[in-house]
């Protein structure tokens, strides 16, 4: 069993990261989906082996544009989402995940938390950790073999 903390859109607001410091310490993977990768400097220093940073449309230094990660018996595609037009729908994101043989797609950009399945792909948007969202949230994803359970957690 592996646990992942999925974050996105901190936009310069690193304070909520302190609120979840224990969760960050105990999980197996930390993934920030962009728009605030510089907020993760301390987390990256503390946990370099398990932290993955993706660049968003407001990140100008650092972060990968996309990531494919194999966890247990699931394959994860992660990106910020702006290059796939996620504010207008997730069809292009689902296609990109399938092209990479992934059955989970992580994305941010919309500032709205969501967990649902589309076309055989589990879509996970953790929401955002700033005042720009309806609520401050992240996703706690547990993967055990082929089973994946994503829970949106309010901060």
106 neighbors 76 (Cβ within 8 angstroms):
yes
pLDDT digits (tens, 9 = 90+) for 48-102: 999 999 999 999 988 999 999 999 999 999 999 999 999 999 999 999 999 999 9
CA 137 to chain centre: 11
pLDDT tier at 121, thresholds 50, 70, 90: very high
- Predicted structure pTM score: 0.96
pLDDT of 131-147, one tens digit each? 666 689 999 999 999 99
Q: What confidence score (pLDDT) does residue 130 get?
A: 81
The whole-number pLDDT of residue 150 equals 98
CB 81 within 8 A of CB 110: yes
Q: Which CATH number fits domain 2-154: 3.40.50.150, 2.60.40.420, 3.40.50.300, 3.60.21.10?
A: 3.60.21.10
pLDDT digits (tens, 9 = 90+) for 21-46: 999 999 999 999 999 999 999 999 99
pLDDT of 108 over the 90 cut: yes
The Cα–Cα gap between 24 and 36 comes to 17
pLDDT at 5: 98
Chain centre distance of CA 95: 18
Amino acid 133: pLDDT:
62
Half-sphere exposure for 151 (CA within 13 Å, toward CB): 9
CA distance 22 to 155: 13
What residue segments make up the domains of the chain, in order of their start? 2-154
């Amino acid at each position: 069993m592996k646990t992942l903390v999925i974050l996105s859109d901190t936009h310069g607001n690193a304070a909520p990261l302190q609120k979840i410091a224990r969760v960050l310490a105990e999980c197996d993977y930390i993934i920030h989906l962009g728009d605030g990768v510089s907020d993760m400097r301390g987390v990256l220093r503390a946990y370099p082996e398990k932290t993955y940073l993706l660049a968003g449309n407001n990140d100008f230094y650092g972060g990968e544009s996309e990531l494919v990660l194999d966890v247990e018996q699931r394959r994860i595609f992660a990106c910020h989402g702006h290059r796939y037009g996620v504010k207008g729908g997730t069809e292009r994101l689902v296609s990109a995940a399938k092209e990479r043989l992934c059955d989970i797609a992580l994305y941010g950009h919309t500032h709205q938390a969501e967990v649902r399945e589309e076309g055989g792909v589990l879509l996970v948007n953790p929401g955002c950790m700033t005042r720009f969202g309806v609520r401050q949230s992240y996703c706690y994803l547990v993967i055990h073999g082929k089973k994946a359970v994503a829970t949106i957690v309010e901060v």
